[in-house]
Amino acid sequence: MNTPVMPTFIETDLDAISDFKGKVAVFMSPTGQIGLGARRVNKLMKRSLTRLAESQQFQDMPNSACHVMSVPAGMDASDVLVVKMPKRTTVDDARLAGANLGKAVKGAALLILAGAGKHASEIAFGCALRQYSFHDHKTSEAPKQGAITIMANYADEVAQGYVSKAAIAEGVFFTRDLVNEPANILTTVEFAKRLEALKNIGLKIKVLEEKDMEKLGMHALLGVGLGSRSPTKIVIMEWQGGGDEQPFALVGKGVVFDTGGISIKPAGGMEDMTMDMGGAGVVAGVMKTLALRKAKANVVGLVGIVENMPDGAAQRPGDVVKSMKGDTIEVINTDAEGRLVLADVLWYAQETYKPTGIINLATLTGAIIIGLGHENAGVFSNDDALSRKFIKAAATEREGAWRMPLGKAYDKMIDSRVADIKNTGGRSAGAITAAQFLQRFIKEDMPWIHLDIAGVALLKTETDLAPKGATGWGVRALDRLIADHYEAE
């Protein structure tokens, strides 16, 4: 498992800059203004920063971009990294600047001359997030994460501001690791084992086995795993950091590999179905974050862990299964399995924990990618207030989220001739009918959001804060939601 770099925070000491061995980062405004640390660097480098500020190259640089000045005169550093930073720096500017430094550092030690600059802890956060690398199954030497030192005025205050961000970074890395793992490594058993280990940081962990699900009547979930040799499991993670109030619930789809079952997928791109447990991965990352930062809230995370494989014992198109709720479901397409998993886990979460609200996450449909691409997750909700809160939290954290419609007219598309409901309504409005299906398993007056994260969980291109692969989307937004609206003062 990968662990983010924990920055070191030290007081500003101008005399120590020249002797630092590694890379030194300085910040310069679009008009060439610099702080005390950068002034010392400029003096040591015989006004090289001043000349850079006057160049067209610097003028053409976007904000938060990084320019590398190699083998600086008068310093032991290998490079000086010059970041163009607007005078009125926002959190986004700071995180992006940090991420660009994280890319440029390439395993070297990094000294960031933050001085009296704003958002020093955010710069460190962006740098730590961007240094993530999933190298676990390569035989070559793993790329090193460079040590990060933040030289700042009032370093103790900056360090204190980073405490909660360190917990979030741990949660994001945990989610990325889970989503990046191949399915022969992250089996249902191994996934549950990794989640059970979270008891070491204070989470209460409970695991439901197949015999427990049988007793509960969870035949929608159990049907998905009939073709796999790996046992189906539900893992429940409880964080009791608040008072006596009922918890908020997070529910995740954890299909460790999805062949489509008997309705088998095309071969092209099937290798990406290792990420079909992305919803469960996000729930796990959020729960780890809450525990590490000792959140003053009660939150329960539940994940249904299963593998969808073709086999002589596998569920068939046309089969009818009975859910824990008691509704019968006609399985039209065994590749629409995620909603079957969530149906039983959602009902169990409500029956057992009586939550104040519930958010489920799933890499549920290709249709949401057609609609929203890879910029936004789809947000489906029965509660305007909860939806607004989440979308605001996601916007604050720059994790794209867009509200999609629900409506009774779509219910007609999933009416079944032989059962209470069928598990797919076909290609038209595919993401919406999937959400309508899930809503059947949400109790009246229960505030609920379904997040379809199929387009944002794992990308083939890098993002501002992540390399190619798993993004960890949703950990920051959901932690923000809990902190802003469900945590005691």
240 and 295 housed in the same domain: yes
Structure confidence at residue 136 (pLDDT): 86
Q: What is the mean pLDDT of the chain?
A: 96
pTM above 0.95, yes or no: yes
Tens of pLDDT, residues 418-462: 999 999 999 999 999 999 999 999 999 999 999 999 999 999 999
Query: Do 300 and 423 have their domain in common?
Result: yes
Phi, psi of 34, deg, nearest 5:
-140, 160
Region 225-240: what's the mean pLDDT? 98
**What are the beta bridge partners of residue 8?**
149
User: Angle 368-372-374 (CA atoms, 0-180°, nearest 5)?
Assistant: 95
**Which candidate in 118, 194, 265, 322 is catalytic?**
265
Query: Which residue among the candidates 339, 422, 476, 480 is catalytic per the annotation?
Result: 339
Query: What is the rounded average pLDDT of the residues 300-329?
Result: 98
Both 235 and 304 in one domain: the answer is yes
Same-domain pairing of 261 and 139: no
Q: Is 339 an annotated catalytic residue?
A: yes
CATH number at residue 243: 3.40.630.10
* pLDDT score of 292 more than 80: yes
**Spatial separation of the C-alpha atoms in residues 402 and 382, rounded to whole Å:** 14
Q: Give yes or no for residue 399 having a pLDDT over 80.
A: yes
Domain end position, chosen among 155, 180, 205: 155
Does position 142 have pLDDT exceeding 80, yes or no? Answer: no
Per-residue pLDDT, averaged over 54-64, amounts to: 96
Q: Looking at the structure, tell me whether residues 134 and 273 fall in a common domain.
A: no
Q: Are residues 111 and 179 in the same domain?
A: no
pLDDT at site 489? 72
Contacts of 106 by beta carbon, 8 Å cutoff, 6+ apart: 143, 146
CATH code assigned at 20: 3.40.220.10
Question: Per the domain annotation, does 2 fall within a domain?
Answer: no
- Residue 118: pLDDT over 90: no
Asked if residue 165 is part of any domain, the answer here is no
Q: Does pLDDT of 121 surpass 80?
A: yes
What strands, in cross-sheet order, belong to the sheet with 421-422?
Answer: 320-322, 328-330, 421-422
Q: Is the pLDDT of residue 193 over 90?
A: yes
d(CA 4, CA 130): 9
Find out whether 252 and 245 touch, Cβ atoms under 8 Å: no
Task: Tell whether 145 and 184 lie within a shared domain.
Answer: no
Residues 147 and 220 in one domain: no
End position of a domain, from candidates 121, 155, 189: 155
pLDDT classification of 197: cutoffs 50, 70, 90: very high
Model pLDDT, residue 412 = 95
User: Is there a domain that residue 162 lies in?
Assistant: no
For tokens 């990294």, name the residue: 81
Whole domain around residue 24: which residue ranges? 8-155
Q: State residue 225's pLDDT score.
A: 98
Residues 187 and 108 in one domain: no
Side-by-side strand order, sheet with 110-115: 8-11, 148-152, 110-115, 23-28, 79-84, 66-70
Question: What number is the average pLDDT over the span 402-421?
Answer: 97
pLDDT per position as a tens digit, 60-85: 999 999 999 999 989 999 999 999 99
pLDDT of 344 reads: 98
- pLDDT one-digit tens code per residue, 96-117: 999 999 999 988 999 999 998 8
Q: Could you tell me if residue 201 is inside a domain? A: yes
Secondary structure of 21-66 in HEC code, one letter for each residue: CCEEEEEECCCCCECHHHHHHHHHCCCHHHHHHCCHHHHHCCCCCE
In a domain, 163, yes or no: no
pLDDT value of residue 428: 94
Judgement on whether residues 377 and 424 belong to the same structural domain of the protein? yes
Q: 221-230: per-residue pLDDT in tens?
A: 999 999 999 9
> What is the pLDDT confidence band of residue 52, given thresholds at 50, 70 and 90?
very high
pLDDT at site 143:
78
User: Do residues 231 and 207 lie in contact, with contact meaning Cβ atoms separated by under 8 Å?
Assistant: no
What is the per-residue pLDDT across 155-177, written as a single tens digit (0 to 9) for each?
A: 999 999 999 999 999 999 999 99
Instruction: Please check whether residue 277 lies inside any domain of the structure.
Output: yes
In a domain, 161, yes or no: no
Q: How many domains does the chain have?
A: 2
Mean pLDDT, range 193-199, rounded to an integer = 98
Same domain, 111 and 188: no
Q: Which of 103, 126, 155 is the last residue of a domain?
A: 155
Q: Are residues 44 and 101 in the same domain?
A: yes
- With beta carbons less than 8 A apart as the criterion, state whether 223 and 340 touch: yes
Q: Would you place residue 1 in the very low, low, confident or very high pLDDT band (cuts 50, 70, 90)? A: confident
Domain assignment present for residue 344? The answer is yes
